[in-house]
Structure 1
Amino acid sequence: MLKHLLLPALLILTLAGCQQGPDRAALEQYASTAMPADTELADIYQRSCQACHSRGSTGAPLTGDEAAWEPRLEQGMDTLLSHVVDGFGGMPPYGLCMDCSASEFEHLIAFMSHYPEAP
């Protein structure tokens, strides 16, 4: 009986290991240097988001850390926008960008929540 339970568990763990994203060092390196391609978004990101989302020590999900962003994204964009506007946990109201639009916040969230595919 135990053999029948262990084999599927090992198979699942093996397959999960094959689908892992970047290792932690690569993720932290990416987060510390990532910048949106759009120059206006890059300016906003640099002055309002980067300080917290580029360092693992702040508690904010790192830019590119899809695993950390996944449960947040599952809440839906309306909830994420509400957290940005109202502040949530350590997130300050408006993410320190008082003049940002909802569209800009959505684009920044999309940028920060994905790790780029290897070329």
Structure 2
Amino acid sequence: MVDEGNISCCTSTTLYMGMCLGIGLCCKWKYGLCKQTADYRTKLRRKFNLAEGPALDWVTHFCCHCCALCQEYRELQSRGFHPSLGWNKNEARNREKNQKQKMEHPVNQRMTN
């Protein structure tokens, strides 16, 4: 969602699985993987002008990766995106919604003298 459909599902899955493998390995390697996935959190914050805190993005992913992913998912949902659909379907859905809004007549319209 954050990359607007520029990364395929396969690539995202590979990145995620690579990061999951890092959980059981040394902290230095885990830091590198958390730093990569935290970059998406940083992009999300910048895209929607969100504050970073109370911890740095990579620290949040390092300490509790599952919590960080849940927060990012809920943030996208609260902004009207459905992350499970992917970028292309969300874009189509938003275009359709905008077209429908343009075609609706004004509510409570009256003629006055």
TM-score normalised by length of structure 2: 0.25
TM-score normalised by length of structure 1: 0.25
